Amino acid sequence: MPIYNRFFFDVDPAVGTAAGKLAEAAARLNAEGPTVPILVNLPADLVAALRKEGHSVPDGISGQALLDTGSDSFAVDSSVVEHLGSKPVDSLRVKGAVGPAMEQLVHPFSLSFPTTNLPALPIAFCVSLPLKELGIVAVLGRQLLKKYALIYNGPAGHITIAG
């Protein structure tokens, strides 16, 4: 069973006290939210087809993905869709906590989690949303979280994902 732990504090032992580090970690987790490193690529079968036709394949986009219990699906930043040249395969009605529901295009991607032992998702269908201003490139909702146990330890500034 893969288990990923992330501690939101400075690991330099010369910086601050233990109590100070704990307070810093709690504040960082609160500010950033529970995030994991992510690499977004085109699905392998699409990459193979593009290469077979002699097309170049853009490099994937890496960054942070927010684990969002309030979202039921996956989302990637709209700049990722543009960079990778992903074509929509469907549409989905998306509603947030505020504002009206909107129809969003759905794109296929491959999602992996570098520097973690979490298994990659060879195909994930994602809507495109403006996420870059939030400092993230993706949102991972309950479609992923239903396969894992997520522990959010706010006072300690620590998350654990196990599944």
- Tokens in use for 112? 């992996």
**Closest listed residue to residue 123, CA positions, set 89, 97, 96:** 89
pTM here is 0.90
Contacts 24+ apart (CB under 8 A), 82-88: 83/58, 84/40, 84/41, 84/42, 84/58, 84/60, 84/109, 85/42, 85/58, 86/42
CA 157 to chain centre: 19
CA 44 to chain centre: 19
**Helix, strand, or coil (residue 105):** strand
**Per-residue pLDDT of the chain in tens (163 residues, 90 and over written 9):** 899 999 987 666 666 666 778 888 999 999 999 999 999 999 999 999 999 999 999 999 999 999 999 998 999 999 999 999 999 999 988 887 777 888 999 999 999 999 999 999 999 999 999 999 999 999 999 999 999 999 999 999 999 999 8
Fold of 3-162: Cathepsin D, subunit A; domain 1 (2.40.70)
